[in-house]
Structure 1
Amino acid sequence: MLKLVVTDLDGTFLNNKGLFDIDLFNQVYDEMQKKDVAFVACTGKQCERVEKLFGEHGKGVWILGDSATRIKKDGEVVKEFTIEHDLAQQAIDEIQRFDPEVTIIACIRDTAYVLSTIKDELFNVVKGSYEKVVKINSFKQIDSDFNKITVFDIKSRSSALRKHVENTLLGQIYIVDSEPKWVDITALHTHKGETVKKLQNMLGVTFEETMSFGDGENDVELMSIAKYSFAVSNACENTKKAASFITKSNEENGVLLTIQKLLDLQ
């Protein structure tokens, strides 16, 4: 019996405009609540950005945000996972050696930090995923541990950047080039799959009772934590290969329609 539904947001649950079908969501989510099925948004987006995205419709939704480094529900932080400060600073140094012009986003709890020299158009890109963004003169001003480091490279060199950082830090961090322009760095063994496993343990939910959805390279692990794992039709090849099933695209409400069908069978 289905008890947990986990979905990535960008490119999976959200359409290409970054929106979702609110009426259909309310209909499906109401049915999920009646059948005691938990809904989880698992995303690189900041938890607070996800809260704003769902608004009044998000009551009871679990958020595994900031690349699954934070677990939040109904405004309360349940758990956080961090990269040790010096290791995070070392990662930033390596990124800047690769190209000092890439956009680095350093995430600490509910705040994303960017350099004050960031261009307006790139700042707007950051604001698309982060609700609270603060400009600072140097990342050396940060004296606490980090939740994650994200890089946006307008030149689409994420694979090369990942390999560059791995030359120094492989085995000390988790790093994934989720899309051609995006790289995420978190603590070792901290990624969507592992954080969902922790939530499954907290809720007493099994692999057989879980459904998952994804599209990007950073969703491959999501395909391994659920018996009913779905890649949307617009997903990358690695996620499709890892998934048990393929469903309709993010532009066709693939996630919500698939959940609806399985609920009808339950």
Structure 2
Amino acid sequence: MNYKLICIDMDGTLLNDKKEVSDENLNTLKKASGKGVKIAVCTGRLFASARYYAELIGVKAPVIASNGAYIREKDSDEVIYELSIGVDKCKKLQSILNKYDFNIYYNKYDAVITQNGFYEGNTYAAMNKNLSDKNKIKLITTEDIDKVIEEQGDDILKCICISNNYEGLAKARDEILEAGYYEVVSSNRDNIEIMIEGVAKGKAVRVLADFYNIAREEVICIGDNENDLSMIEFAGLGVAMGNATDRVKNIANYITETNNNNGVAKVIEKFIL
């Protein structure tokens, strides 16, 4: 098969456990791009965070951000697709989450909003240390989340709840799903990620493939966790990382090496180069 589009998850997939893109992954991606294959970063992170890694790759790569709620060309201002939660559904979601003692973060394409504050080791706070002022992620702490939702809810793409209370996360997940209106996935044991109904990485990959007139059979998707399931199912070649969850491995067409052993590069070498 002549594959034309590769959609790659970031955390646990393209990035090793040190949150780095290895030289082997980097060089292999550049070789694939040189052959005309389109490379897309596909992540639960917000666009401003994903853009940093898209630029690091060194190839012109579109970004699928917020688990598929936002698709944008890296080198232009063209937004290919956007689906926000909206004011009313954010209010309803917050009314559910008020019952739980979670760290709650609302994501826009370029900002993270919270009542909990940002500790120094927070992913986005740490990343900002390496970004130019123009590209820094806006970290907004508020004492009145309801007011922010009222004013900015139509721009909110995703809510992420983080907690070591795994039972509480599971209970909240069930309650949110029962309410309707929402998609709920997880990218790690300690979180749930909430988007508006209809948002999924798989749908976003389909939108991007259609944008480039690329057939489903010509798409490779690579991931490791629950929020990658829909795109791995959609792809002509769905690939699970060696460190992926069993659920992801069970639906994949192929299982590669781990994220710490250049699993992305191994896929490209086998199926593209």
TM-score by length of 1: 0.89
Q: Which residue of 2 aligns with 1:257?
A: 266
CA distance in 1, matches of 2:165, 2:188: 12
Q: Is the contact made by 1:159 and 1:180 (CA closer than 8 Å) also made in structure 2?
A: no
Q: Which residue of 1 aligns with 2:175?
A: 164
CA distance in 2, matches of 1:74, 1:258: 24
SS at match of 2:48: helix
Q: Which residue of 2 aligns with 1:42?
A: 42
Deviation string 1:30-51 (CA, Å, 9 cap, x unpaired) is: 2222221111111111211122
Q: Is the contact made by 1:45 and 1:65 (CA closer than 8 Å) also made in structure 2?
A: yes
Q: Is the contact made by 1:51 and 1:58 (CA closer than 8 Å) also made in structure 2?
A: no
Q: Which residue of 1 aligns with 2:209?
A: 200
Change (3 A) 1:129 1:85: farther
Q: CA deviation at 1:80?
A: 1.6
Q: CA deviation at 1:165?
A: 1.9
Percent identity, aligned pairs only, is 22
Across the two proteins, how many residue pairs are aligned to each other?
257
Q: CA deviation at 1:137?
A: 1.2
CA distance in 2, matches of 1:20, 1:209: 25
Give yes or no for the alignment of 1:89 onto 2:100. Answer: no
Q: Which residue of 1 aligns with 2:3?
A: 2
Q: What code does the residue aligned with 1:19 have? A: E
Deviation string 1:209-232 (CA, Å, 9 cap, x unpaired) is: 011111111111011121111101
SS at match of 1:13: coil
Deviation string 1:6-61 (CA, Å, 9 cap, x unpaired) is: 1111111111111111x323422222222211111111112111222344534411
Change (3 A) 1:77 1:114: farther
SS at match of 1:51: helix
Change (3 A) 1:162 1:245: same
Q: CA deviation at 1:256?
A: 1.5
Greater strand proportion: 1
Q: What code does the residue aligned with 1:102 have? A: F
Q: What code does the residue aligned with 2:245 have? A: C
Q: Is the contact made by 1:70 and 1:77 (CA closer than 8 Å) also made in structure 2?
A: no
Comparing 205-214 with 65-74, greater Cα deviation is found at: 65-74
Change (3 A) 1:88 1:128: farther
CA distance in 2, matches of 1:177, 1:53: 21
Comparing 125-134 with 146-155, greater Cα deviation is found at: 125-134
Q: Please, which runs of 5 or more residues in structure 1 have no aligned partner?
A: none
Q: CA deviation at 1:68?
A: 1.7
Q: CA deviation at 1:125?
A: 4.4
Give yes or no for the alignment of 1:177 onto 2:177. Answer: no
* Aligned positions of 1:77-226 closer than 5 A: 77-78=78-79, 79-97=81-99, 99=100, 101-115=101-115, 117-118=116-117, 120=119, 124-125=122-123, 127=125, 131-142=137-148, 143-144=151-152, 145=154, 146-157=156-167, 158-167=169-178, 169-170=179-180, 172-226=181-235
SS at match of 1:67: helix
Q: Is the contact made by 1:7 and 1:213 (CA closer than 8 Å) also made in structure 2?
A: yes
Q: What code does the residue aligned with 1:141 have? A: K
CA distance in 2, matches of 1:128, 1:65: 19
CA distance in 1, matches of 2:192, 2:257: 26
